Amino acid sequence: MPAPPCAVCHAARAALRRPRSGQALCGPCFCAAFEAEVLHTVLAGSLLPPGAVVAVGASGGKDSTVLAHVLRELAPRLGISLQLVAVDEGIGGYRDAALAAVRRQAARWELPLTVVAYADLFGGWTMDAVARSTAGSGRSRACCTFCGVLRRRALEEGARLVRATHIVTGHNADDMAETVLMNFLRGDTGRLARGGGLGSPGEGGALPRCRPLQLASQKEVVLYAHFRRLDYFSEECVYAPEAFRAHARDLLKSLEAARPSVVLDLVHSAEHLALAPTAQPPPPGACTRCGALASRSLCQACALLDGLDRGRPRLAIGKGRRGLDEGAPRARAQPPPAAVLPDF
């Protein structure tokens, strides 16, 4: 049976059906609709004001590649300029290839690229070193927890280096729904309180962050990359299979089979969630070691590195929650942990 005509231009044959609406579109009309929706997200949320210097967190993967491409298309209309900022976590056999993809993108799109490395920022620590240091301890499953804290900090440092006024990341709706689900499953009310909305306004001197793809489904991000013939790196990080996120992803897939709208429903829930005052995170202050934004005496990155340097990582999940050894619940009477989980 021949494909139906495109529902927008009626000239070409449809090449896809949009996963959510079922609308049959040709490739060019789909890409135009996708870009218009991202533009609407940015404008409706006042995410990137005219004149903004925007640091795009570039990993070489599909999400950040699509984000950078779409923002480059929209930049003249938004009146913004772009800088690619990539983070080298020091993951042998993975990050080098991903960074090569980022370098190709920067050259092809003629965008400035800055690479910041964990090893330079964090006293020689790389993710491989962190993994070695925690191997066999039961904490090795938490590599992404360490990495999330350090990467958030590294991206902030990279953005400041290029004098950016805003940071954007490529999280899509599926990523956000997984994060909401993980935070619920962990009972991490602090993260739930901060996780809603399209971004954070940059409290306590941190740069404002936003996620312009937050309402786009993962399937459509992949379709956009396909129709725009984008060059991206698609291999999974060697530490990803150990992450708790993988369980949330599996659960979400099961839920989606029963309720197709569950991804957007979860994102919507997080945006409109109201927490009791006692569940709100403490007001931010300054880290006593590096001066970065912190809700305790040390920021998340310094607390983590402090624990690593002493040979006992102290990162944990919210007050009274499980620590890095996810198989060993902590007693509720223990003192508050040094830091909380990152938002991914």
CB 170, min distance to ligand SF4, A: 13
Distance CA 142, CA 240 (A): 10
Does 58 appear as a known binding residue?
yes
Of the pair 240, 290, the CB lying nearest ligand SF4 is at 240
Does 53 appear as a known binding residue?
no
CB 291, min distance to ligand SF4, A: 25
The answer to whether 217 and 19 are in contact (CB under 8 A) is: yes
Q: Which residues contact 45 (CB under 8 A, 6 or more apart)?
A: 198, 199, 210
Main-chain dihedrals φ then ψ at residue 317, nearest 5 degrees: -105, 95
Does 164 appear as a known binding residue?
no
Does 59 appear as a known binding residue?
yes
Q: Indicate the residue type of 99.
A: L
Distance CA 162, CA 56 (A): 11
Of the pair 45, 138, the CB lying nearest ligand SF4 is at 138
Of the pair 88, 220, the CB lying nearest ligand SF4 is at 88
CB 239, min distance to ligand SF4, A: 4
Does 170 appear as a known binding residue?
yes
Give the residue carrying structure tokens 């197709």. Answer: 260
The two tokens of residue 150 are 């350090």
Of the pair 92, 123, the CB lying nearest ligand SF4 is at 92
CB 154, min distance to ligand SF4, A: 11
Does 63 appear as a known binding residue?
yes
Distance CA 83, CA 86 (A): 10
Of the pair 30, 125, the CB lying nearest ligand SF4 is at 125
Q: Indicate if the alpha-carbon torsion angle 18, 41, 151, 296 is positive or negative.
A: negative
Q: Which residues bind ligand SF4 (CB under 6 A)?
A: 89, 127, 143-144, 147-148, 237, 239-240, 243
Q: Indicate the residue type of 262.
A: V
Q: Indicate the residue type of 119.
A: A
CB 344, min distance to ligand SF4, A: 7
H or E stretch including 247? helix 245-258
Where is the binding site, in residues?
57-59, 63, 87, 170, 175
Where is the binding site for ATP, in residues?
57-59, 63, 87, 170, 175
